[in-house]
Amino acid sequence: MAADIEYGTLRMEEIPRVVQVINAAFTTNMAAIRRDEAEWRWRYLHHPGFQMGGCPVARMDGHAIGCVMVSEMEMVLDRPRKVGLIDDVSTLPAARGRGVARRMMNQAIDYMRSRGCEATALYADPHGVARDLYLDLGYRDLHRFPFFFKPWDMGVVLRDILPFAGALPWFLPWSLLHMPAPRGTGRVDPEEFQEAWGHHTRGLAGLPVPSPAYLRWKGRGNATHPIWVGVRHGGHLAAGARLCPIRVNLLGRHIVRSAWLNDIYGEPGLDPVAAALAHAPRVAHIMCVVSGRDTHRQWLLRRNGFLSVMGATFMVKPLVEGLDLEPLRDRVWHPLQESALGYP
């Protein structure tokens, strides 16, 4: 690509192109979430903190070749702070090596400062090349979030994965690890779930401060059609978890049906992971991300046959004086699913 690159902000009419850029940019990853335009519109355009006018776009010959998604959210750091979230930093493979991502990121950081954001945050592959760029821009690793993975429906695995990946004998015994769900579990109303989840997750670092608009967006009209599962005890939702069906692009060549398991909470002695698995859809595998300091949720996942296979680093760049994040490194953190996973 030898033509000049121009920089601006996202326009409504180029959303279909931007979705293509994001999908194409991550095909070089081992696995990446595959979105269609409807899912992108819900994930960003309908998000109450999304700022389309602040999203940088790089163009060549009038066509988008790169983009950065910017959202604003009140998040608990040392206290509730206005944070600018960076997602889907994307450049077409043929346009890389020309400083496009750096230019877009600087544009996004300037915009977030102008909006009064006190910090900016993002998730990155701890071993990826993009992390070096973020470190150079002033972001610092604050917390690690391991990913957990469990093959689920063997019919889907045999049909969708094994012919593509080759014979993987460890799939078979591993996938048979499944704990029975406790009695009294079932699908529940999203609003009831979110109220119980909020009560059980108070005090976690990185927790979004949920506005009514945010909760409506996360629950009703969710384009991933999540499955909300709860365990009732003593007349109330004592434990719960949520499953979001998605599609994953393996090595850029194969689309596999999958699901994210998230928003796990529960009183001692209850197993919300087993409850969620009892209602899991027919997918090849189920994935989850939890705080590296969260030994209880990690134990629940391992008990139900999940293994840790990779992870993400949560990176933060203060935009105001006096924001000391060092004391937060040893806290249990809430994984912000809309950034760490791509879907809330």
d(CA 184, CA 155): 28
pLDDT at 1: 47
pLDDT at 209: 84
Domains along the chain? 5-145 (3.40.630.30), 146-311 (3.40.630.170)
Q: Which residues contact 241 (CB under 8 A, 6 or more apart)?
A: 229, 261, 262, 263, 264, 265, 272, 273, 275, 276
pLDDT at 211: 81
CA 215 from centre of chain:
16
How many residues make up the chain in this entry?
A: 344
Q: Are strands 80-91 and 119-124 parallel, antiparallel or unpaired?
A: parallel
pLDDT per residue of the chain (344 residues) written in tens, 0 to 9: 457 999 999 999 999 999 999 988 887 665 667 788 988 998 899 999 998 889 999 999 999 999 999 999 999 998 899 999 999 999 998 888 899 999 999 999 999 999 999 999 999 989 888 999 999 999 999 999 999 989 887 677 666 655 555 444 444 454 444 444 445 567 888 888 888 888 888 878 888 887 888 888 877 777 778 899 999 888 889 999 999 888 887 665 677 888 999 999 998 889 999 999 999 988 888 999 999 999 999 999 999 999 998 889 999 999 999 899 888 888 999 888 777 666 44
